[in-house]
Amino acid sequence: MTSAAHCERHFSGSETVRDIVIGLSDGLTVPFALAAGLAGAAASSRLVVTAGLAEIAAGAIAMGLGGYLAARGDAEHYAAEKKREEEEIVEKPHAERAEVAAVFRHYGLGDAQIEPILASFEKNETAWVDFMMRFELGLERPDPGRSRRAALTIGGAYAVGGLVPLAPYFFIPYARAALSWSAACAFCALFAFGWAKGRATTGNPWRSAGHMALVGALAAAAAFTLARLVS
């Protein structure tokens, strides 16, 4: 009798999803809030479009650069910690053995079970260092292309998100008239994006969708109100 193969379904690609969330959520919210604020103070959509495109360009570059530097910082931190662990294994092997033993005792292993593992690590220092990086320091080996991919993903997501609430101003010459369409586009995009994010990560898409839509609505309302007060 044959048994069906066990297939586990786990979500992967969390770093890419995180980059998309960062870029797209800010891209949908910040340009929308800027356009709403300008619509409260200016009559022409042309001004809104000009300022909106400038903000999207600057925001995409800044967000992409921030993602790049953050990923580079993670890689440099990993490299520095790895070098320190390599030195400690040579200079303080007894202390490192005690740290490995402490990790395995946490999982319920006894000294008789731990000793063969320690002996194996002493013969394979590369595996020893990798083990300490992951289980002592909680650090995963960074992807070499992570920094470039993070910059492109975050910056691209910001630009795409920013064009959604700005699109109505391209076709409607009066800013006040375009504002309601912009709000509808931004709300639908935020709701859909929040739903998809929640489905892929938390398993609660409706709550995530409502949260994203609420944040965008509050940001736009605040910008519009401030623009009306100072104009």
Predicted local confidence at residue 63, as pLDDT: 92
Cβ neighbour number for residue 192 with a 10 Å cutoff: 14
d(CA 208, CA 149): 25
What span, in angstroms and rounded, lies between the C-alpha atoms of 187 and 191?
Answer: 6
pLDDT > 90: percent of the chain:
14
151 lies in the same domain as 44: yes
Q: How confident is the model at residue 227 (pLDDT cuts 50, 70, 90)?
A: low
* Domain extent at residue 95: 76-136
Residue 121 has pLDDT above 50, yes or no: yes
Q: 64 and 91: one domain? A: no
Reported confidence tier of residue 11, pLDDT bands at 50, 70, 90: very low
CA distance 231 to 218: 20
Condensed to tens digits (0 to 9), the pLDDT of residues 40-65 reads 777 788 888 898 899 999 999 999 99
- Taking the CA atoms of residue 149, residue 155, residue 158 and residue 164 in that order, the dihedral angle to the nearest 10 degrees is -100
What pTM was estimated for this model as a whole? 0.74
Both 224 and 151 in a single domain?
Answer: yes
Burial 59-90 (b: 16+ CB within 10 A, else e): bbeebbeebbebbbebbeebeebbeebbeebe
- A 10 A CB-CB count for 146 gives 19
Question: What pLDDT was estimated at residue 1?
Answer: 44
Long-range contact set of residues 73-76: C-beta below 8 Å, sequence gap at least 24 = 74/142, 74/146, 75/142, 75/144, 75/146, 75/147
Residue 160 forms part of a structural domain? yes
pLDDT of 132 over the 50 cut: yes
So what's the pLDDT on residue 56? 92
pLDDT at 199: 74
Express each pLDDT in 74-106 by its tens digit.
888 888 888 888 888 888 888 888 888 888 888
How confident is the model at residue 12, as a pLDDT?
Answer: 46
What is the domain count for the chain? 2
d(CA 158, CA 64): 9
State whether residue 174 is helix, strand or coil: strand
Residue 100's pLDDT is what? Answer: 84
* Residue 201 in this model has a pLDDT that exceeds 70: no
Q: Which of 93, 114, 136 is the last residue of a domain?
A: 136
Arithmetic mean of pLDDT over the chain: 81
Residues 172 and 66 in one domain: yes
Burial class of residue 8 in the structure, from the number of CB atoms within 10 Å of its CB (0-12 exposed, 13-18 middle, 19+ buried): exposed
| pLDDT exceeds 80 at position 26 | yes
Q: Provide mean pLDDT across the span 130-150.
A: 83
Same domain, 49 and 158: yes
> What is residue 58's predicted lDDT score, i.e. its pLDDT?
93
- pLDDT tens digits, residue range 158-193? 999 899 989 999 998 888 888 888 888 888 888 887
Q: Is 206 part of any domain?
A: yes
